[in-house]
Amino acid sequence: MLASLILIPLAVALAIVVLPAASARAAALLGTLAAAAMTVVALVQFDWTEGGLMQFLTTTEWLPALGINLSFGADSISMLMIALTALLGPICVLASWTAITERVKTYYAWLLILQAAMVGVFVARDLIFFYICFEFTLIPMYVLISLYGSTNRKRAATTFFLYTFTGSVITLAGLAYVAYFNSTLPVDAFAGAGTWTFDIDTLEKAAAGQMSLSQQSLVLLALLCGFAVKVPLFPVHTWLPLAHTEAPTAGSVILAGVLLKLGTYGIYRFALGYTPDAFVYYAPVIATLCIIGILYGGLICWVQTDVKKLVAYSSVAHLGFCVLGLAALNHTGIQGSILYMINHGLSTGALFLLIGFMYERYHTRNMKEIGGLAAKMPIWATFMVFFVMASVGLPGLNGFVSEFLCMFGTFQASDHWSTGIWGSENAATIGATGGKLGPWYAAIAALGVIIAAMYLLIMVGKVVFGPLKEPGGHDSHGGGHSGGHGADSHTHLPPDLTAREITALVPLALACLIFGIYPKPLFEALKDPVNDTVAWVHKIAPPPMPEGNVNPSMIGSVEIGSPAANAASNVQEIAR
């Protein structure tokens, strides 16, 4: 089932190579639709009441000498990410329909290979298979940026590749260390201990349950080398604006929609799963980096004149919220963070689409050269305003829900907060609250929300509203009439969006609206896996409880004297 989600895009990519160039985009559209249909089948077959369980598990032996298997499985988080990937697939093909005119076979083949690799990341249950897919996304993206990007594309593609490749090689060393550590454990510690394996679950038990804090910290550092670059967190974010700005529209959509999420997904799965002690210990540091990213990204957006660069930097800020929610280490924060991964993919993906459509017509992204497009492109303007609102976090749209949850989780994540939370039936269970952040973190991060509203609304104000301004000598003083022929004479596109472009945008808009008004199904789906994760983190690294409110079940769950308990008590001492 899950393997077919990888194999369908790969097969279509192969078909595109064989077929004549004229049919490439049709084949790509059919292929991505087939993959999407297959994803729908998988979504239906998935047992959503057991969202925390890995389902569709299959394992095939591959390289036993190195402990590598081909094993697939998905819980509800993986399924949602796969759904996002599958949804963006056909949209990207539609977005490239007229924009890509040269070397179309190469383009669509790599686009589909990229989709296969991304799905592979989300379904992998073997660490090396995960890593292979994680790394292999680099090549298609490199080709897409460097062949089909704008003027500075070569440098952008190389920077993108080198940044992420460097980080993830260090991650590989960390993963190898975890595998080695597991192989040195006594065989009777748990199933799979003492053998050389790259099974994700086995290694999770080994790393989280048996490593000391200092070992976990090193592993966490190695993991963050790869994942933080991918997200990107503050000091290592410099590749992102460049890559986003230069990438073709579909490349930006996939980059913002899914590729960045590989980083947050990796942090969720591995930093939280493998190194909870260290993650709890360093949560304030990570949160601080996130907040710097939120504020710094926002401030840079404020002074941008390039619309695409503005949205790219806004991704830095938004992903900061996303990781902040993870660092909150409680149910609310983590749930918000995972919702954020999906919602950011929808709204920012759509923004990149809109900017791409505009660029296709005007060949500029400079806010000084364009303005007041509402007069010329009313449909485009409507969508633009809608998605900017979703991105800003207007209540009633999807961005609000996740951003609010991330902030709220951060706010309530104090050491001495233990009452129930809004919207969760599990309020009183283990791990409903806890963590090391607190109101201060939330308060400063909230400034980022204000900044985000400011720069996005300024951008809308300039580009959508105001007097019409068009580039290339068509600066009309009176209205749209004199600029009427300027754009479409070059591109053969009508002034406003075509049916194809609207088709690409409508699913995203619907999803933004539905998840904004009625996010309950998502909450239900995410409840189990997030509960499991929080319970796992708090089992390994229990949060300090207020006096007299000690949860007995939690104390019993960690054996006294085990490395985990020792590490946990270290954390508590340090925390005091």
Q: How far is the CB of 148 from other proteins (least distance, A)?
A: 10
Among 173, 189, 299, 457, binds other proteins (CB under 8 A): 173
Question: Judged by CB under 8 A, does residue 219 bind other proteins?
Answer: no
Phi, psi of 125 (to 5 degrees): -115, 10
Question: Judged by CB under 8 A, does residue 138 bind other proteins?
Answer: yes
* 48/539 Cα distance (integer angstroms): 25
How many residues bind to other proteins according to rule CB under 8 A? Answer: 33
- Return the range that interacts with other proteins (CB under 8 A); candidates 74-82, 124-132, 233-241, 435-443: 124-132
User: DSSP 3-state assignment of 187?
Assistant: coil
Token pair, residue 562, equals 């085990």
Q: How far is the CB of 120 from other proteins (least distance, A)?
A: 10
Q: Which residue reads 């094993």 in tokens?
A: 71
Q: Which residues contact 533 (CB under 8 A, 6 or more apart)?
A: 268, 272, 273, 334
Q: Which residue reads 């210990």 in tokens?
A: 281
CA-CA-CA-CA torsion sign (38, 70, 187, 266) = negative
Closest C-alpha among 544, 308, 284, 512 to residue 393 = 512
Question: Judged by CB under 8 A, does residue 169 bind other proteins?
Answer: yes
Q: Rule CB under 8 A: which of 444-483 touch other proteins? A: none
Asked if omega into 232 is within 30° of 0 (cis), the reply is yes
- Return the range that interacts with other proteins (CB under 8 A); candidates 170-178, 368-376, 397-405, 449-457: 170-178
Closer CB to other proteins, residue 34 or residue 109?
A: 109
Question: Judged by CB under 8 A, does residue 162 bind other proteins?
Answer: yes
Token pair, residue 491, equals 């591109």
Q: How far is the CB of 265 from other proteins (least distance, A)?
A: 18
Question: Judged by CB under 8 A, does residue 239 bind other proteins?
Answer: no
Question: Judged by CB under 8 A, does residue 550 bind other proteins?
Answer: no
For every residue of 289-328, DSSP letters joined together read HHHHHHHHHHHHHHT--BHHHHHHHHHHHHHHHHHHHHHH
Q: How far is the CB of 57 from other proteins (least distance, A)?
A: 22
**E strand or H helix at 372:** none
* 398/569 Cα distance (integer angstroms): 39
**β-sheet bridge partners, residue 60:** 70
Among 142, 268, 274, 441, binds other proteins (CB under 8 A): 142
Question: Judged by CB under 8 A, does residue 136 bind other proteins?
Answer: yes
Q: Which residues contact 521 (CB under 8 A, 6 or more apart)?
A: none
Beta strands in 13-112 (DSSP E): 55-63, 68-74
Q: How far is the CB of 444 from other proteins (least distance, A)?
A: 34
Closer CB to other proteins, residue 146 or residue 412?
A: 146
Question: Judged by CB under 8 A, does residue 18 bind other proteins?
Answer: no
Q: How far is the CB of 440 from other proteins (least distance, A)?
A: 35
Site string (44-63) toward other proteins, x via CB under 8 A: -----------------xxx
The 10 Å Cβ neighbour count of residue 397 is: 23
- Return the range that interacts with other proteins (CB under 8 A); candidates 3-11, 134-142, 350-358, 525-533: 134-142
Closer CB to other proteins, residue 53 or residue 132?
A: 132
Closer CB to other proteins, residue 203 or residue 294?
A: 203
Closer CB to other proteins, residue 26 or residue 176?
A: 176
Among 66, 285, 506, 517, binds other proteins (CB under 8 A): 66
Instruction: Please state the length of the chain.
Output: 576
Closer CB to other proteins, residue 138 or residue 535?
A: 138
**β-sheet bridge partners, residue 126:** 199
Question: Judged by CB under 8 A, does residue 180 bind other proteins?
Answer: yes
The answer to whether 465 and 372 have CB atoms below 8 angstroms apart is: yes
* 30/562 Cα distance (integer angstroms): 55
Which residues make up the interface to other proteins (CB under 8 A)? 61-67, 128, 131-132, 135-136, 138-139, 142-143, 146-147, 158, 161-162, 165-166, 169-170, 172-173, 176-177, 179-180, 183, 196
